[in-house]
Amino acid sequence: MNLVPGLLYSKEHEWVKVEGNDAYVGITNYAQLQLGDIVYVEIPEVDDNIKKGEVLCTVESVKTAADVFSPLSGIITKVNEELDDEPEKVNEQPYEAWLAVITMSDLTQLDELLDEKAYAKYCEEEE
């Protein structure tokens, strides 16, 4: 399984890269493989207040459309506008093609996320 040490992972297959109070959020390699070829990413709005578990955005592939759930609460401070024109980057580089940056309002929510070993075990059990 293709995972990146140092990132955190949700059971909904999002990854989180923490930089201070900011969290870069994307979907995992496992998720993009399940979706297939991604053809569209509905980018969230900057300055939106989002709560953990709410829909962050929608990703459409040739197979299906899937909601991406926010693994953390906070304010969306940045979005990856490159994905408007190049949604396939999520397939090609899932751990570089972040969807949004959330300035976290509750840092304790990070404790509920999984490290790479726990996430790998979770994915194995899910299959």
Is the pLDDT assigned to residue 65 strictly greater than 70?
yes
Q: Is 6 exposed, middle or buried (0-12, 13-18, 19+ CB in 10 A)?
A: exposed
Longest alpha-carbon distance in the chain: 37
pLDDT of residue 22: 98
pLDDT for res 2: 79
Does 40 fall in a domain? yes
At residue 1 the predicted structure's pLDDT band, cuts being 50, 70 and 90, is low
Provide the domain count of the chain.
1
Average pLDDT value over all residues in the chain: 95
In a domain? residue 54: yes
CATH of the domain at 53: 2.40.50.100
Domain range holding 77?
Answer: 9-105
Give the model confidence (pLDDT) of 20-31 as tens digits: 999 999 999 999
When computed from its CA atoms, the radius of gyration of the chain, rounded to whole angstroms, is 13
Q: For the segment 94-122, what is each residue's pLDDT rounded down to a tens digit? A: 999 999 999 999 999 999 999 999 999 99
Average pLDDT over residues 26-46: 95
Least Cα distance to 27 among 10, 48, 5, 39 occurs for 10
Quick one: average pLDDT of 17-22? 97
2 found inside a domain? no
**pLDDT value, residue 63:** 87
Number of H helices, E strands in the chain: 4, 9
CA distance 85 to 102: 22
* Cα–Cα distance, 38 to 63 (Å, whole number): 9
| pLDDT of 3 | 87
Give percent helix, percent strand, percent coil of the chain, each to the nearest 5.
25, 35, 40
